[in-house]
DNA sequence: ATGAAAGCGCTAACAT
DNA sequence: ATGTTAGCGCTTTCAT
């Protein structure tokens, strides 16, 4: 294939406007030291010729790349894509991230990176070298991967850590997992429940612990026990089934269960059905994530929404601010999701 | 923010290996005229230093950008993201496209472009100027937008037109809409249905016509009538409801309906329920697209799968082939989806 | 306030 | 088979 060169370059604009390249560059980048009339003249040429700067050239000459890289865990993302269960985490990331980037003249690039392999660092380093992004958005479990965090910190690339309470490096953002779990628990307590079970996610994820904490502290605040009411899952349907069985087969089973994601909630619903328990009459159920499938469950699930789009959008804003050298909050930015009440929660039996 | 320059460049590698830049370049690009031992030595330095070429610099010097741009209709995509109905078209595009790109050392960039505005051309031109992609993947309705097709053709950028029978320009790929509709029809005829209704999608999309054609020709082949059995929708739930009513309120209602997407199928299911019709006992239903929600419908819907991931993957292969100057098929590439039988189809009442 | 020169990292074209 | 040169489009010096 033949060389494909830029059709309209800064040179054409400069020639058309009868000014130097530098002046055009100043106009493009909104720099000072250009007289308004000059600026106008140059802008007119830009519009007339339909000129758009080449990101490659901008990047080459050492300025911004206007690219923000968002990375997800490869394994889990591909598993979701294959399963086709309607998980829309990626969609919501793009929704929040791409649109916010566009507002600032940036572009979001979505990539997959393996967290687990020993060559995470090499993989990420390669992507960064190739793309030269102005910022990086990390999602769990990358957000707390010390190799990744260390690399980004060393390279001085602004980066957001979604679902992380952070540390020294990077910009931490959380979706208020602890608060959300507390709200879910409070909702159930308000309905009259006293034995509220909790199915946690994989302990590899910090957010699993935060959710447990929110539930525990709310239970404690209401003077309710938690012994025998916690079951560990790993976010998979199968693990949810097993956890629900453990909870419901006990001597004093809960009248309500909070499960740490939608798959495990669906599994719990299934186990309840098996055991002849009607939801919400015999068992109330609150889910986490609020992915599309919750509308389609029977009954539709009351769920804590994960504000993925809003959080990623905020991450973009913070990265761009950091990039501009603005001061950033030292504490994690919290974007809270709300509890969406649907048909899976009701007062406990006999209430 | 300070200049962030490439940490390891081709120069470092050249110095380390004690060769010229050009030799390193040849090794990177797998070009001939490098002695094996030389190649090995250079590769060793590359590995040692962890060198990765800068895409920006590669692009600047007139070679490939290793970027393939995939564009979707902005309005429809954002509507899907907002609705959170589990539509996973974007996910499947990324699934097929990103992974296939990675195999070839390319990268897929996903973008949204407004088809309807008068500045489509300006918008796309800007994206192309900024990114300099080596190829573009168009999805409906962009695939048949003459402005877009013309622009890409003029710029000599290889591009794929998904869901298009094509024309002179670009690489056309279809998901065998006509064949799929025929298969769905045949399935119902095989079950004993004789009055099979069809709810079409928006006529703005060519594929709507192809699906109608597939249904009509199969009906004709079986000697069955189609009069009064076609209702037009626009892919929305509301339009599906209206269409289903028109079909079911007639004097001789169909015993089976094929709807051109999942939303309209769900709407049909709803209308059937309203009218006291049990699916599949009183009415059989076949859907198109097979997005995640079909599993969760009651009953789960028999549906024609849209092989989005496979089609996009194929598009990537064809673009890269074109880019390398290989010969391409003149006829549209067909990637067929299969009919997934679930619980919404059965023999007609009284059979 | 504007312009000229140098260089970013890489590859095509042209030596050798 | 390998090296040298020039230049991609832009922004950074550094003049003026």
pLDDT at A1: 41
Is it true that B67-175+307-338 and B177-304 share their CATH fold? yes
- Chain A CB contacts of B291 below 8 Å: 84, 86
CA separation for the pair A90, A308 (Å, rounded):
9
pLDDT digits (tens, 9 = 90+) for A324-339: 888 888 899 999 999 9
B189 Cβ contact list (under 8 Å, min separation 6): B196, B218, B219, B222, B224
The answer to whether the Cβ–Cβ distance between B155 and A4 falls below 8 Å is yes
CA separation for the pair A226, A196 (Å, rounded):
8
CA separation for the pair A271, B67 (Å, rounded):
47
How would residue B2 be classed by pLDDT, with cut points 50, 70 and 90? very low
Superfamily of domain A177-304: Response regulator (3.40.50.2300)
A23 CA vs C3 C1’ separation (Å) = 8
pLDDT digits (tens, 9 = 90+) for B282-295: 999 999 999 999 98
pLDDT digits (tens, 9 = 90+) for A161-178: 999 997 789 999 999 999
Quick one: what percent of chain B has pLDDT higher than 70?
98
pLDDT digits (tens, 9 = 90+) for B106-121: 999 999 999 887 788 8
- Chain A CB contacts of B54 below 8 Å: 59-60, 129-130, 132
pLDDT at A3: 54
Bridge partner residues of A189 (DSSP):
none
Strand D bases near protein CB (under 7 Å) are 1-13
Edge-to-edge strand list for the sheet holding A333-334: A107-113, A67-73, A135-138, A159-162, A171-174, A333-334
CATH classification of B67-175+307-338 is 1.50.10.10, yes or no?
no
Mean pLDDT score of chain B: 93
**Domain range annotation of chain B:** 1-37, 67-175+307-338, 177-304
Q: Give the residue whose CA sits closest to D2 at C1'.
A: B23
Q: Least CB-CB distance to A5: which of B3, B62, B92? A: B62
Give the mean model confidence (pLDDT) for residues A51-72.
89
Chain B: closest CA distance from residue A95 (Å): 7
CA dihedral (A147, A148, A153, A157) in degrees, to 10, reads 160
Closest to B77 measured CA to CA, from B141, B125, B159: B141
Residues A81, A289 contacting (CB under 8 angstroms): no
CA separation for the pair A138, A301 (Å, rounded):
29
pLDDT digits (tens, 9 = 90+) for B48-96: 998 989 888 988 887 788 999 999 999 999 999 999 999 999 999 999 9
CA distances from A191 to A181, A194, A345, B147 (A): 16, 9, 8, 59
B64 CA vs C11 C1’ separation (Å) = 10
In the complex, which nucleotide's C1' lies nearest to the CA atom of residue A58?
A: D10
DSSP three-state, residue B299:
coil
Chain B, residues 79-138, CB within 8 A of chain A, namely 80-82, 84-86, 88, 90-92, 94-95, 98-99, 107, 109-112, 122, 125-126, 129-132
* Sign (positive or negative) of CA dihedral B290, B295, B296, B299: positive
Is 0.85 topped by the overall pTM?
A: yes
B55 CA vs D9 C1’ separation (Å) = 14
β-bridge pairing B67-73 and A339-340 = unpaired
β-bridge pairing A196-200 and A230-232 = parallel
Closest to A168 measured CA to CA, from A297, A330, A347, A1: A330
Q: Give the residue whose CA sits closest to C9 at C1'.
A: B57
A76 CA vs D3 C1’ separation (Å) = 48
B313 CA vs C7 C1’ separation (Å) = 40
Buried b / exposed e along A188-218 (16+ C-beta atoms within 10 A) = bbebebebbbbbbbbeebbbbebbbebbbeb
A91 Cβ contact list (under 8 Å, min separation 6): B80, B81, B88, B90, B91
Chain A, residues 326-345, CB within 8 A of chain B, namely none
* Sign (positive or negative) of CA dihedral A260, A266, A271, A272: positive
- Chain B CB contacts of A300 below 8 Å: none
The answer to whether the Cβ–Cβ distance between B94 and A90 falls below 8 Å is yes
Residue of B nearest to A84 (CA): B292
Concatenating the DSSP letter of every residue in B242-288 gives: HHHHHHHTSSS--SEEEESSHHHHHHHHHHHHHTT--TTTT-EEEEE
For the cut 60, the answer to whether the pLDDT of residue B6 exceeds it is yes
Strand positions, DSSP E, chain B: 67-73, 107-113, 135-138, 159-162, 171-174, 196-200, 230-232, 256-259, 284-289, 302-305, 333-334, 339-340
Which of B51, B80, B81, B103 is the mutation pick for testing A, counting most A CBs within 10 A? B81
For the cut 80, the answer to whether the pLDDT of residue A59 exceeds it is yes
A325 touches chain B (CB under 8 A): yes
The answer to whether the Cβ–Cβ distance between B1 and A298 falls below 8 Å is no
* Sign (positive or negative) of CA dihedral B148, B153, B156, B161: positive
């Amino acid at each position: 294939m033949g060389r494909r060169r830029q059709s309209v370059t800064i040179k054409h604009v400069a020639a058309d406007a009868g000014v130097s390249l530098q002046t055009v560059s100043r106009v493009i980048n909104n720099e000072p030291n250009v007289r308004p009339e000059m600026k106008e003249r140059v802008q007119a040429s830009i519009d007339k010729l339909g000129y758009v700067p080449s990101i490659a050239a901008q990047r080459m000459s050492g300025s911004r790349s206007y690219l923000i890289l968002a990375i997800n865990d490869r394994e889990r993302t591909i598993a979701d894509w294959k399963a086709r269960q309607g998980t829309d985490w990626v969609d919501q990331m793009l929704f929040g991230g791409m649109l916010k980037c566009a507002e600032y003249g940036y572009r979001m690039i979505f990539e997959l990176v393996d967290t687990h392999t020993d060559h995470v660092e090499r993989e990420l380093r390669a992507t960064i070298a190739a793309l030269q992004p102005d910022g990086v958005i990390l999602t769990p479990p990358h957000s707390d991967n010390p190799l990744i965090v260390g690399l980004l910190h060393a390279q001085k690339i602004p980066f957001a850590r979604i679902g992380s309470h952070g540390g020294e490096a990077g910009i931490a953002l959380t979706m208020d997992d602890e608060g959300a779990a507390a709200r879910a628990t409070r909702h159930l307590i308000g309905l009259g429940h006293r034995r509220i079970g909790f199915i946690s996610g994989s302990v590899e994820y910090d957010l699993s612990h935060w959710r447990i904490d929110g539930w525990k502290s709310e239970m404690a605040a209401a003077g309710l026990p938690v012994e025998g009411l916690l079951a560990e899952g790993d976010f998979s349907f199968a693990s949810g089934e097993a956890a629900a069985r453990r909870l419901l087969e006990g001597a004093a089973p809960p009248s309500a269960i909070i499960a740490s994601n939608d798959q495990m909630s669906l599994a719990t619903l299934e186990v309840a059905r098996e055991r002849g328990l009607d939801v919400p009459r015999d068992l109330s159920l609150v889910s986490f994530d609020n992915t599309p499938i919750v509308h389609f469950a029977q009954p539709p699930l009351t769920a804590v929404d994960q504000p993925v789009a809003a959080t990623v959008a905020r991450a973009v804003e913070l990265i761009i601010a950091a990039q501009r050298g603005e001061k950033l909050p030292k504490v994690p930015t919290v974007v809270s999701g709300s509890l969406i009440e649907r048909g899976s929660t009701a007062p406990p039996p006999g209430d």
